[in-house]
Amino acid sequence: TDMNHRVSKEIVRFAVQNKVDVIGLEDLTGIRDRTETSKKQRYTHHSWAFYELQSFIEYKAREKGISTVYVDPAYTSQTCPRCNHISKNNRHKKSFVCECCGHSLHADLIGARNIESRARTYRYTLEVQGCSQPPIRELSTR
């Protein structure tokens, strides 16, 4: 809980400093079933309170007038943020190399950039539709 408080506080502090008005989060529903970890890290992975972290980010962001949006994580670590090519072959463990354009980076960073892009697209769509700010908690659909 203490670690989640510290991490969420830092995320919201970063958002305030950089004048971010929407924080995009991966929809972590079922993450323990979707991810694999080494035997050595299994205990830490299964005892981490993902929902608690999201809740802390939400309420701290809300206090600062920042919205949170939940993004469908499907294919975020298999999609190239440069050319949008999607392939399982783009990712090998923690390494990402696009088989189409050759862009390479750590797979988790690729996933984070794609989540950011989806959150920006969501925000832009709302603005185009005349909404000044997204709802405080919006869950994207698959």
Encode pLDDT of 14-38 as tens digits.
999 999 888 999 887 666 666 666 7
Q: Outline where 48-103 has alpha helix (H).
A: 50-63
Residue showing tokens 């809740």:
55
Cα separation, 22 vs 61, whole angstroms:
9
pLDDT at residue number 44: 62
Cα separation, 69 vs 96, whole angstroms:
25
pLDDT at residue number 134: 54
Determine contact, residues 70/138, Cβ cutoff 8 Å.
Answer: yes
Query: For the chain, how big is the Rg over CA atoms in Å?
Result: 16
Q: Is 96 helix (H, G, I), strand (E, B) or coil?
A: strand
How confident is the model over 46-50, as a mean pLDDT?
69
Q: State the DSSP code for 99.
A: T
Which amino acid would we find at residue 119?
A
pTM (two decimals): 0.71
Q: Per the structure block, which two tokens stand in for 108?
A: 């988790």
